[in-house]
Amino acid sequence: MQANDRTRQSRPRTFHLTVAYDGTEYCGWQVQPEQRSIQSELERVIQPLAGKPVRILGSGRTDAGVHAIGQVARCVLPTWNAGPISLQRAINSKLPDDIRVKAVRETRERFHPIADAIGKRYQYLVQVGGGRDPFAHRYVHRVGGPIDHAAMQAAAAKFVGRHDFRAFQGTGAERPSTVRTIHSARWFPRTATDPTGSRLEGEPWCFEIDGEGFLYNMVRNLMGTMLEVGRGRKPLQWIDEVFASRDRKQAGPTAPPQGLFLCRVDYPDEIFEVDES
């Protein structure tokens, strides 16, 4: 028996779940009436383990069609006596095939997946040119070429630093502050094969962005704006004008959800310092 799977005295315990999912068949992370969501699937599976209805809190909501490699969720179990590994196995045994808990760690009681987060990484996958691939189409945004990749890199560099991203915030989830710090933003070519190992048509590219936090639809709106520059529809300096306007209508269109992946959410080590007494 592993050390973190030992039996212990019953008490409420808080867990950090790392969750991966294909968001294609879901209305998004958040519970919605009469629709399937990632949150509702996790709550359905974890409720019998808790012995009562539970609310699973995520690090942020992803929209319909958006995927995750490293979403983070919190669950509190009042009577769970086994360790994190047993909890992971119990949850995964009941989840649908397109959702999986990749890791479970016990945390401090007051752990909050939104308030305690210190950084996030997203990736957005793009196929430039070529036909629609029947295996990859739900994971990439296919755009017509040609694309000026140097212009796309220059556009991405505009987002690095501390800025007011109000012009890139989606409607319906306004925040008290729209100022965010972006640590890095870059484009790079990715492996040109689909999940079957077949060669993809066109040019597969990935946009990766790291920051302290993101506004609603911010990454998809940044993507739509960069594509306007990369396709030559707007000059590079237009992005400065969009920032200055603080007006969502001045930025590019919202890119579709299927190319977007939440890759990781970072937390300080202190949240995992659990009192074993």
Q: Which residues are catalytic?
A: 63
Element housing 40 (H / E): helix 38-50
Nearest to 16 by CA among 57, 50, 69: 57
Do 110 and 259 form a contact (C-beta atoms < 8 A)? no
Do 267 and 116 form a contact (C-beta atoms < 8 A)? yes
- Rounded to whole angstroms, the Cα distance separating 74 from 76 reads 7
The Cβ of residue 221 has, within 10 Å, a number of other Cβ atoms equal to: 23
User: What does residue 262 show for φ and ψ, rounded to 5 degrees?
Assistant: -80, 115
